[in-house]
Every structure is written in structure tokens, then in C-alpha cells.
A = this chain, B = another copy of it.
Amino acid sequence: MRLSSLADYAVVLMSAAARHCGGMRCNARALAEETGLPLPTAQKLVSKLSAAGLIESVRGAGGGFRLSRPPAAITLADIVEAVDGPITITVCSGDHASDCAIEGSCHVRPHWQIVNRTIRAALAGVTLASLGQHIPDPKRPEHPINLKRTVS
């Protein structure tokens, strides 16, 4: 019950992109330094996000990328699905058919679908624009990323 580290990093990276390069282009290196992510990881994330259509990249010297949509139109669900693929907590919770080999009527699957839709709605309810609004957290105002390489 945990989404991948890449998806976690992607949310932080997109949040930084929405804050710093609003409209103007910025490159992966700048965002890597901004967020503290390793440069190769940031590059990999940019590739996936670009393939998903969330950002538009421009190659060559002086290139970079920019958000393809306004921050209010990009949700956590979009980012997570761009990196991890469709949000399906079980193999049968999605709307598509799954290769289920065991026979007999299933009492559980309809409930999984309901839970799955609820989870996706929770992720779709948070936009990049809302991430900009700072919710105070007195206990721990630190950054969420936990890179082992920085701990050592």
C-alpha cells in the first residue's frame, strides 16, 4: 500500500516546476538542484512526464520543458498514473478485464472497484495549484524525500 518512490519524486518535481517555471522553460538540472533529487532521476522523470503529455520538452542547447497545462488542471492522479501506470490497487479493481483463472463467483471484486474509485478521486482532488497553497504543519515542515545517499 505504498506508491513507488519515482511517483513520489515526480510530485515534488512537478510542484517545484509549477512554482519556479511558471510559463518560462526550465531544465532538469535546475529542478534537480532545487529539489535535491539526483540528476539522472530527474531526467528519467522528465522523460516519463513528457511521454505522458504533462510537460512539453524542447531539446538542444538552451532547451528545457514547460507545463503543457495550467497547474490547476494537473492533479496528483495524473502524475501518479504518468509514472506508475493506471491506479489499480488489485489486479481486478480496474475497469478492464483481468486474467482471473480461478472459477466461482467473486464476492469481493465489486467492493474493490468502489474502493479504487474512491482512492483515485482522492488523488484527483489535489491539483498542482493547491500544492502551492502552503498548509502549515507545525510538527514537521521538512521535505518529504528520503534519499539514502544524502543520509550517509
Contacts and interface: CB of A to CB of B under 8 A. Distances in A.
Interface of A: 1-4, 7-8, 11-12, 15, 19, 35-36, 76, 80, 84, 87-92, 97-112, 114-115, 118-119, 122-123, 126, 130-132, 134-137, 139-147, 150-151
Considering the complex of A and B, which 8 residue pairs feature the smallest CB-CB distances, nearest first? A110-B135, A118-B122, A92-B144, A101-B150, A36-B102, A102-B143, A106-B143, A100-B142
A50 to B, nearest CB: 21
User: In the complex this chain forms, how many copies of it are found?
Assistant: 2
Contacts of A135: 110-111
Contact of A151 (B80, B99, B109): B99
B101 A147 contact: yes
Contact of A144 (B100, B126, B151): B100
A91 B15 contact: no
A89 B119 CA distance: 11
